[in-house]
Amino acid sequence: MLQKPRGTRDFLPDEMERRRLIEGRMREAVRRWGYREVCTPDFEHLELFTMKSGEGIIQEMYTFEDKGGRQMTLRPEVTAAVLRMYVNEGKVLPKPIRWCYFADCFRYERPQKGRYRQFWQFGVELIGADTASADAEVIMLADEALQSSGVTFDLHVGHLAPMKHLLSDLSPEDQRVIMACLDKRDQNALSAALEGRGLTHLTEPLAALSECQTVAEVFEIAGDVPERARIEETFALLDSQGIEYRPDFGIARGLDYYTGMVFEGFARNLGAENQILGGGTYRLAHLFGGDDVASCGFAIGFDRVMVSIGDFPLEPGTVVGVVCTPEARERALEVARAFRNAGVRTEVDLMERGMGAQIAHAAKTADFAVVLGKREVDAGTVTLKNLHTGEQQEKSLEEAIAEVARHGDR
Binding residues for L-histidine, as ranges, are 77-79, 107, 121, 125, 253, 257-258
Amino acid, single-letter form, for residue 81: A
Judge if the upstream peptide bond of residue 316 is cis by omega within 30 degrees of 0: no
Residues β-bridged to residue 155: 265
DSSP string, 218-255: HHHHH-S-TTHHHHHHHHHHHHHTT---EE-TT----S
Amino acid letter for position 118: Q
Q: What angle do CA 8, 12, 17 make, to 5 degrees?
A: 110
CA distance 370 to 9: 37
Residue 340 phi, psi dihedral angles, 5° rounding: -65, -40
Strand 153-159 vs strand 246-247: parallel, antiparallel, or unpaired? parallel
Three-state DSSP at 288 gives helix
The 10 Å Cβ neighbour count of residue 55 is 10
Q: Is 185 helix (H, G, I), strand (E, B) or coil?
A: coil
